[in-house]
Amino acid sequence: MHKRHGLTIVELLIVVVVIAILAAITVVAYNGISDRARNSRLLATIDSYEKMIRLYHADHGTYPATQNPDNTEKYVPGGLDTACLGTAEDYPAASIFPQGSCMFSGGSTQANFYADINQKLTPYSQDLHLTPDNTVMINGEGARGVMYQSDGMGAFIYYYQQGDRPCGRGTQMFNPPENIGPDMPNGMTVCQLGM
């Protein structure tokens, strides 16, 4: 009588399928955890900037303005500009973004890093290196980091998220896939936190 050694092909296939299923479950669980961690870091960053801006307002009676005070080209003449919050190192030249830019649209930079805005917030934080990894790009346009806009009387923090997601802080301004077109499978969600 022969003793059977080893596994049959069917048994081997069953083992391979079980291992593949376990690997797939692990990858999906890991992706979910990393997405939640990225969102938690983004919301913590938004909370930190909101506190800094509110403390500045409590001390000075106004918000740090992004309005053009002297009609120089530093800000949008006669209007509000959008400033990138953080440090200059947080916004290196990368992909479609020029150095110091956190929003690129219509072939040009729409939001820039301004040292004076961030210097006004420095006394209210130990570290301005708070910029999260929330870069969103669609069709050669995109946003990254955290943006700020103020006329001195009121202030807004803006941030972008990939896809259609609820805003953890603030309100959803719009979800551009409808504005860009139905052929866009992954849009971006624009969130605004007003003060």
Q: List, edge to edge, every strand of the sheet that includes 171-174.
A: 136-138, 141-143, 101-105, 108-113, 83-85, 146-150, 155-162, 188-194, 171-174
Domain boundaries, the chain: 9-194
CA 157 to CA 65: how far, in whole Å?
12
Q: What is the pLDDT of residue 22?
A: 93
Least Cα distance to 104 among 53, 160, 48 occurs for 160
User: What is the maximum alpha-carbon separation in the chain?
Assistant: 99
Per-residue pLDDT of the chain (195 residues; tens, 9 = 90+): 567 677 788 888 999 999 999 999 888 777 778 777 877 888 888 898 999 999 999 999 999 988 655 545 444 445 678 888 888 888 888 888 888 888 877 776 777 888 888 889 888 887 666 666 777 777 777 888 888 988 889 999 988 887 777 888 888 876 554 444 443 335 678 889 999
CB–CB of 128/122 below 8 Å? yes
CA 7 to CA 27: how far, in whole Å?
28
CA 73 to CA 85: how far, in whole Å?
19
Q: Where are the alpha helices (DSSP H) in 61-182?
A: 115-121, 177-180
